[in-house]
Amino acid sequence: MISFKNDYSEGAYSSILEKIIQENTVQNTGYGEDAHCQKAIKAIQKKLNCFDCSIHFLVGGTQTNLIVISHCLKPYQAVIAAESGHINVHETGAIEATGHKVIAMPSKDGKLSVKMVEKALSTHTDEHMVQPKMVYISNPTEVGTLYSKKELEQLRDFCKQKDLLFYLDGARMASALAASFNDIALEEYQNLVDILYIGGTKCGALFGEAVVFFKKTLEEDFRFSIKQKGAMLAKGWLLGIQFETLFENNLYEKLGKHSNAMAENIQKAIAQKGYGFQFPPCSNQLFPIFPDEVFKKLEQQFEFTFWEKIDDSHTSVRIVTSWATKEEDVKQLIEAIQKA
Amino acid sequence: MISFKNDYSEGAYSSILEKIIQENTVQNTGYGEDAHCQKAIKAIQKKLNCFDCSIHFLVGGTQTNLIVISHCLKPYQAVIAAESGHINVHETGAIEATGHKVIAMPSKDGKLSVKMVEKALSTHTDEHMVQPKMVYISNPTEVGTLYSKKELEQLRDFCKQKDLLFYLDGARMASALAASFNDIALEEYQNLVDILYIGGTKCGALFGEAVVFFKKTLEEDFRFSIKQKGAMLAKGWLLGIQFETLFENNLYEKLGKHSNAMAENIQKAIAQKGYGFQFPPCSNQLFPIFPDEVFKKLEQQFEFTFWEKIDDSHTSVRIVTSWATKEEDVKQLIEAIQKA
Amino acid sequence: MISFKNDYSEGAYSSILEKIIQENTVQNTGYGEDAHCQKAIKAIQKKLNCFDCSIHFLVGGTQTNLIVISHCLKPYQAVIAAESGHINVHETGAIEATGHKVIAMPSKDGKLSVKMVEKALSTHTDEHMVQPKMVYISNPTEVGTLYSKKELEQLRDFCKQKDLLFYLDGARMASALAASFNDIALEEYQNLVDILYIGGTKCGALFGEAVVFFKKTLEEDFRFSIKQKGAMLAKGWLLGIQFETLFENNLYEKLGKHSNAMAENIQKAIAQKGYGFQFPPCSNQLFPIFPDEVFKKLEQQFEFTFWEKIDDSHTSVRIVTSWATKEEDVKQLIEAIQKA
Amino acid sequence: MISFKNDYSEGAYSSILEKIIQENTVQNTGYGEDAHCQKAIKAIQKKLNCFDCSIHFLVGGTQTNLIVISHCLKPYQAVIAAESGHINVHETGAIEATGHKVIAMPSKDGKLSVKMVEKALSTHTDEHMVQPKMVYISNPTEVGTLYSKKELEQLRDFCKQKDLLFYLDGARMASALAASFNDIALEEYQNLVDILYIGGTKCGALFGEAVVFFKKTLEEDFRFSIKQKGAMLAKGWLLGIQFETLFENNLYEKLGKHSNAMAENIQKAIAQKGYGFQFPPCSNQLFPIFPDEVFKKLEQQFEFTFWEKIDDSHTSVRIVTSWATKEEDVKQLIEAIQKA
């Protein structure tokens, strides 16, 4: 059965695998202290147009979030997130396991606003409560929505004013960058956030995430944190090779565009049939609301994720495309939607 | 420069990479719930001759140790290890970061004996001290030595008697199995330890470690611990493919044999020159004691690890071979030793 | 200025201090292994009419909650609480600091219902999310409300059905027991909850809380947890003496009655003036809604806690009475309310 | 049976209890924000001759150590201590439970030397190992020995040079100050250590320890750490009253002198009989080595602690005196020693 369940059902973009094979018998220094990691760092710095930021490579997303957050916070400090934020819901309490509370704010569209952060601060005022110290957002969010540059600027300004760290989880950054709604270039992030996580796993790599510290003081001794949390890959050059390949020659952007184009095709077909969306479609995740009989027909032919029962006769689902989504699979899905 | 620095300087054995390429565009279920992981589990169970043990795949060694240990212990319980044990020295306090003390016992050969465990128990007697609950050993040890079956039986019996869990870190298990001193078959481990970690990263895989729980009760909810510690690989089938390949058709044993054979050649050349060893050479790690002038000559041509200053004119070093060590590189090293 | 700010502004009931003085020069065994703790345990067991429960004494409330919860849960397990629950709001992330998520459910009256617990379970379904394992409630709640026996029975039944531990924080248990709305005798708690915390600090003691484990298996090695969290009082008999005194001869009940009687007098005066309450007045905490000009007049004469701005012209406050509240102080407050 | 088992078998010095009684019905602000704590802080600052240090009061010793250490260290940092240090042995892994390794150095006399600290640093050199960041010592040590001013100066200088924090646990500081070997006045500590813990529990208080931060930056947000670890006493003025009383009018010194005088009398009697000591007698803890028949006779009449079997016919024990030790009890013990 064709799956639109997520963006990590296939391996890696072909050129990444080729580079890994090519390097397979070369002896490389371990633990990320190799030439490929250095090249990858330079390639990303160039794309960010920022040459004094610090970059580290990690294997997965939950790992990245827990290491970054626990590295930056003091024991009694907390991180503010949207209630639907990955760290609040889908990381099995990984942040709390490092000792920190996630202050979760209800949000309708998966985004965090200055008002929400303000409210979190206003209810945490002294030493009988945790001390909010970091703001965590995802872009695209867990429900596929996107922040505008203005929204990020507002959050950034508020964070600066309140001395909060601002951390952006870009597990699907390739899709954000390629989105038609997007008005933030990669090189602008240095002026928007303190720490940026650029995702690889969901954007063409076999695995791997890049963490960018724009504030160098935050990054001090970060390799100790990586090692302590069991995240220092022995053959670290595997991460280097992947990000080197993704960020030289615009592969990352290209893969994001493909992913979004596939989603857009599906989205149009759904809209043409008059079906609505639970969240505005912006990136490679779609949340259409299907009449139940349509939902039942589609789930017999395709894999996707049940999201929510909307009312007695309607159901929302999550459909995800990726760098690996095949045009013919999308065509099949569209035909099925049209017929259903 | 040719490196004998460690056993993770190259990628993966060719057939593993080939299998990954072959599967690259197939859609697989995420998070280790795919068919390859199932096949790999079956292949390992067959080698262990034990079909009701539980097996999970993780990415790296420190990660494996911290998840296994924190999963099994209650907050006030501690793990006993040799002072030179990986968890005590080279994991940046990963075990302590999950809340548990490592009770480190001095050991001359990297091994733990019943007597040492007994001493650890005798000094931890009530609630003012941590409660020893697990015994951690590595086989081969961090200094390349091996346990005999009798030694493991004695430790096992003592652990049973004292209600201690017995956990064996086999990061280099392929080398242990292939060692001429070894008298323990893989299928005997089910009667010797409670939890067995079979290493992949240092034994032919790109990355990956397999954890085997012979006591099923210990394994309950282990996937929660994996996820919480950021160790649940999205594309989990990558681990499945690797262990499937390693454990079908005796590849794991074959690679261990190559690794040890390379070490044995080097060892013989060293012994012929009359140089001694800091630890008895048993597996793929050698710790020769070189006269300083020999040491200086060799380090200009080869990479290996300085270990210790033995006396005014002698130095011990660590030389490591692996599944990827080339015969011609070994020849060069031997010639250099002979000439030096 | 007379304070109605909380129930821990004074020392201890006179007979408790007298007993401490009387025992001051006697040599007692340390760490709670003395005769007074034994007597106190027996006295409480008698009141509970339950002679095989295990009882431990601790110094403070946050300490008690963090030790009980971290002792009972596995690393990936979470505790469900009302959003207003003490562990969620006013313990500076103490529970999270031991590694556990608090699943906070919105609640209008500070109470948790079966429906809320059910909802928490329904959104935590697999290993990508924490595993809910304990239900935490306070009685009286943080907003002074009380559970009925029926409500506790429903929660208990649901917890049993879902294999959840049921823990009741009775920091103000004396006030709960003395409340006119209360229909639960102390000896009935053994059939209602798994773990009961009977408060001393806010109920007549200098300091001290008693933890009762009705399930003995939960209590195993609890003294290790006490010591590890820095909560094993060297002169543990100080706790024994206090609980001995409180639970022999009905002192605990008597002090609760006084506290509630004082609150009732104030409540009547407020009601007579036609002012409402934000939460139904049940125990020794009142949350009247004053017109702002009344609020301003009262706060010049008395200390109490601003709670919330209700609307443009009204404010709710928290007024707390205790075992130590003087009748003449209550009279003064009532007169001030009548005049305001 | 008369006990010389420890220095926390009795309550508090009479004037402390009297002050508590006197204040019992007065309304005080909670959580240490009362006038007594302020007065106590001023009284201690005066004794330290240091008016810009920050002082906090806690209930017990393990609590103090775990809060200070976890507050000051980053997750991957470790504390160096003598193997016999309280934090390494007798706190049930409290430090590790907050995530930090204790690097324990073998020591014959319970003291830590620059050489030992140097060795700890030399074996912790990169991110694969924890990062040593704090030196912990006790004065008097756990075996009753004392540091000289010169020794502390050497440690201080080395700590400064290596950017290590220097923390002194003075649980028995009254005994250190009163010791004939002591050459360090309380007011000199500001120039010797970064953080000083002045013990109350073992020096005349019912309970309570004072933490002095000479470096104000270290103390930032310390009240958050106190609260999070469950150590913020609701009726914090109880701590204030006790330290106020101990540090006004030289009571602390006086009680230390009594304690040491009692020990000295016992020590002389032991020496006169020709018995040796396992550790040099300096303070209120003595570790005589008795012939086994003497040991057996004495333990029938007195309580003290078995320490170690020295040889086939000798046993060392721990005898502790305190502010509360009665002269007549000491006489009885001396007579028994003389007769035995």
Residue of chain D with shortest Cα separation from A124: D224
Residue C249 has pLDDT above 90, yes or no: no
Q: Which amino acid belongs to residue D200?
A: G
The Cα–Cα gap between A281 and A145 comes to: 7
Strand partners, B210: B57, B198
- State the average pLDDT for chain C: 97
Chains that touch C (3 or more CB pairs under 8 A): A, B, D
Which residue has 């002679």 as its token pair?
A: C51
Indicate the pLDDT class of residue B121, thresholds 50, 70 and 90.
very high
Whether a cis peptide bond, with omega within 30° of 0, leads into C106 is no
**B40 CB contacts (<8 Å, ≥6 apart)?**
B55, B57, B210, B239, B240, B241, B242, B243, B244, B247
Q: Could you give the C-alpha distances from A258 to A141, A312, A330, in angstroms and in order? A: 19, 36, 12
Chains that touch D (3 or more CB pairs under 8 A): A, B, C
Across the interface, whether the CB atoms of A89 and C127 are under 8 A apart is answered no
Count of CB contacts below 8 A, B vs D?
51
pLDDT in tens, A261-280: 999 999 999 999 999 999 99
- Contact list in A for residue D76 (CB cut-off 8 A) is 221, 224-225, 227-228
Closest CA to A180 of A275, A263, A271: A263
Q: Is the dihedral of CA C73, C78, C80, C86 positive or negative?
A: positive
Kindly list the residues of chain A whose beta carbon comes within 8 Å of any beta carbon in chain D.
31, 70-71, 74-76, 98-99, 127-128, 130-131, 221, 223-228, 232
Residue B216 has pLDDT above 90, yes or no: no
Residue of chain A with shortest Cα separation from D129: A224
The Cα–Cα gap between A161 and B69 comes to: 43
The Cα–Cα gap between B17 and A28 comes to: 17
Residue of chain C with shortest Cα separation from B226: C127
Closest CA to D7 of D289, D204, D253, D232: D204
Low-confidence ranges of chain D (pLDDT < 70): none
Across the interface, whether the CB atoms of C225 and B76 are under 8 A apart is answered yes
**B35 CB contacts (<8 Å, ≥6 apart)?**
B28, B237, B240
**D258 CB contacts (<8 Å, ≥6 apart)?**
D323, D325
Q: Which of A68, A224, A232 to mutate to test the interface with D (most CBs of D within 10 A)?
A: A224
Q: Which of C77, C127, C229 to mutate to test the interface with B (most CBs of B within 10 A)?
A: C127
Q: What is the pLDDT of residue A303?
A: 97
Q: Could you give the C-alpha distances from B9 to A27, A323, B139, B325, in angstroms and in order? A: 5, 30, 21, 10
Residue of chain D with shortest Cα separation from B79: D93
- A102 alpha-carbon distance from chain centroid: 18
Residue of chain D with shortest Cα separation from C235: D8
> Nearest Cβ partner of C224 from B131, B224, B226?
B131
Across the interface, whether the CB atoms of D76 and B92 are under 8 A apart is answered yes
**Residue D268 is encoded by which pair of tokens?**
């002389």
Across the interface, whether the CB atoms of C99 and A101 are under 8 A apart is answered no
Q: What is the dihedral of CA D327, D333, D339, D340, to 10 degrees?
A: -170
First-to-final CA distance of chain B: 17
- Contact list in B for residue A6 (CB cut-off 8 A) is 30
Chains that touch A (3 or more CB pairs under 8 A): B, C, D
pLDDT in tens, C2-11: 999 999 999 9
Strand partners, C309: C315
Strand partners, C165: C134
Across the interface, whether the CB atoms of A232 and B60 are under 8 A apart is answered yes
Query: Which region, left, alpha or beta, applies to residue C77 given φ > 0 means left and ψ of -120 to 50 means alpha?
Result: beta
Mean pLDDT on C302-317:
96
Across the interface, whether the CB atoms of A64 and B230 are under 8 A apart is answered yes
Give the angle C307-C310-C314 at the CA atoms, nearest 5°: 95
Mean pLDDT on B36-55:
98
**Residue A339 is encoded by which pair of tokens?**
């017929």
Concatenated DSSP letters for D93-155? THHHHTT--EEEE--SSS---HHHHHHHHHT--STTS-EEEEEEEESS-TTS----HHHHHHH
Across the interface, whether the CB atoms of A128 and D226 are under 8 A apart is answered no
Closest CA to B267 of B175, B182, B337: B337
Q: Could you give the C-alpha distances from C49 to A172, B231, C45, C191, C256, in angstroms and in order? A: 60, 48, 6, 11, 20
With H, G, I as helix, E, B as strand and everything else as coil, classify residue C230.
Answer: coil
Q: Which amino acid belongs to residue B40?
A: A
Angle between helices C237-247 and C35-48 (to 10 degrees): 30
Strands A131-138, A165-170: pairing kind = parallel
- Contact list in D for residue A221 (CB cut-off 8 A) is 74, 76, 127, 131
Whether ipTM tops 0.90, in short, is yes
Across the interface, whether the CB atoms of B101 and D99 are under 8 A apart is answered no
> Nearest Cβ partner of B75 from D91, D97, D100?
D97
Number of CB atoms found within 10 A of residue A90's CB = 16
Q: What is the pLDDT of residue A249?
A: 87
Across the interface, whether the CB atoms of D76 and A221 are under 8 A apart is answered yes
Contact D50, D191 (CB under 8 A): no
- C127: phi then psi, degrees, rounded to nearest 5: -75, 0
Indicate the pLDDT class of residue B8, thresholds 50, 70 and 90.
very high
The Cα–Cα gap between C330 and C340 comes to: 15
- State the average pLDDT for chain B: 97
Contact A175, A256 (CB under 8 A): yes
Across the interface, whether the CB atoms of C233 and D6 are under 8 A apart is answered no
Q: Which of D68, D74, D217, D232 to mutate to test the interface with A (most CBs of A within 10 A)?
A: D74
The Cα–Cα gap between D86 and D172 comes to: 12
Give the angle A198-A200-A204 at the CA atoms, nearest 5°: 135
The Cα–Cα gap between C105 and C123 comes to: 12
Residue of chain A with shortest Cα separation from B94: A228
- Contact list in B for residue C225 (CB cut-off 8 A) is 75-76
Across the interface, whether the CB atoms of C97 and D238 are under 8 A apart is answered no
Give the angle A166-A167-A168 at the CA atoms, nearest 5°: 125
Contact B327, B334 (CB under 8 A): no
By CB neighbour count within 10 A (0-12 exposed, 13-18 middle, 19+ buried), where does B275 fall?
middle
Give the angle A206-A208-A209 at the CA atoms, nearest 5°: 145
Across the interface, whether the CB atoms of A224 and D99 are under 8 A apart is answered no
> Nearest Cβ partner of C221 from B71, B76, B225?
B76
- State the average pLDDT for chain A: 97
Q: What is the pLDDT of residue B91?
A: 95
Residue of chain A with shortest Cα separation from C105: A104
**Residue C32 is encoded by which pair of tokens?**
């709670």
Between residues C193 and B340, the one the model is more confident about: C193
Residue B297 has pLDDT above 90, yes or no: yes
Across the interface, whether the CB atoms of B206 and A238 are under 8 A apart is answered yes
Residue A166 has pLDDT above 90, yes or no: yes
For residue C183, the 8-state DSSP code is -
Q: Could you give the C-alpha distances from A205 to A55, B229, B235, D82, in angstroms and in order? A: 17, 22, 10, 48
Strand partners, B285: B320
Closest CA to D53 of D218, D168, D185: D218
- Contact list in D for residue B99 (CB cut-off 8 A) is 93, 96-99
Q: Which of C62, C73, C101 to mutate to test the interface with A (most CBs of A within 10 A)?
A: C101
**Residue B20 is encoded by which pair of tokens?**
């990954």
Residue B97 has pLDDT above 90, yes or no: yes
C132: enclosing H helix or E strand: strand C131-138
- Contact list in D for residue B89 (CB cut-off 8 A) is 129
Strand partners, C169: C138, C197
Which residue has 């849960």 as its token pair?
A: C73
Contact A181, A282 (CB under 8 A): yes
Contact B105, B80 (CB under 8 A): yes
Mean pLDDT on A243-259:
97
Concatenated DSSP letters for A53-87? -EEEEES-HHHHHHHHHHHHS-TTEEEEEETT-HH
Across the interface, whether the CB atoms of B71 and C75 are under 8 A apart is answered yes
Across the interface, whether the CB atoms of B130 and D93 are under 8 A apart is answered yes
Q: What is the pLDDT of residue D249?
A: 87
Across the interface, whether the CB atoms of A230 and B94 are under 8 A apart is answered yes
Q: Which amino acid belongs to residue A2?
A: I
Q: What is the pLDDT of residue A203?
A: 98
Residue A340 has pLDDT above 90, yes or no: no
> Nearest Cβ partner of B92 from A202, A224, A238?
A224
Contact D282, D179 (CB under 8 A): yes
- Contact list in C for residue D324 (CB cut-off 8 A) is 25
